[in-house]
Amino acid sequence: MYAVISDGVLLALCDKPRYVKMNEASGAYVEAEEAQAEGVSVNGDLYNINGGNAIPDAPQAVVTEGEVSEYVFLNRARIAENEESTNTAIVEIEEALCELDTASTENATAVEDALCELDEMISAISGGEN
């Protein structure tokens, strides 16, 4: 089993990578043997391999051979890490929203108090007719 990895992200697990090279006559990328390959195709996206840059603007990818169970285990561990990070972020957002709510309530109370004081001052100045 082969894994195609780019920037630490598992792009594909496959029995045989789809190696590609540019067809000189048409300019299109066509399947190639590994020895002649300029890149690899994953779901129609092209990636440079072996540190090359033959495919303009394409990211780098690494093709490695290994056991499926190893890749599955690594991805499950990565998923668990992402879930933990996501849960932490959600808790932090909830706490921030609670702080904003508290601040809004305090501001509204302060405005009401100020309006009451202003009303009392106007009443005192106008002789209590307000």
Give kind and range of the element (H or E) at residue 29.
strand 29-31
What local confidence, expressed as pLDDT, does residue 63 receive?
95
**pLDDT tens digits along 13-48:** 899 999 999 999 999 999 999 999 999 999 999 999
Whether the per-residue pLDDT at 127 is higher than 80: the answer is no
**Local confidence band at 9 (pLDDT 50, 70, 90 cut-offs):** confident
What local confidence, expressed as pLDDT, does residue 25 receive?
92
What local confidence, expressed as pLDDT, does residue 128 receive?
61
Whether the per-residue pLDDT at 108 is higher than 60: the answer is yes
**Local confidence band at 129 (pLDDT 50, 70, 90 cut-offs):** low
Q: In 94-125, which positions are buried (b, 16+ CB within 10 angstroms) versus exposed (e)?
A: eeeeeeeeeeeeeeeeeeeeeeeeeeeeeeee
What local confidence, expressed as pLDDT, does residue 76 receive?
82
**pLDDT tens digits along 46-105:** 999 989 899 999 999 999 988 777 777 777 888 888 888 888 888 889 888 888 888 899
Whether the per-residue pLDDT at 130 is higher than 60: the answer is no
For 73, 109, 115, 123, the CA distances from 112, given in Å and listed in that order, are 59, 5, 5, 16
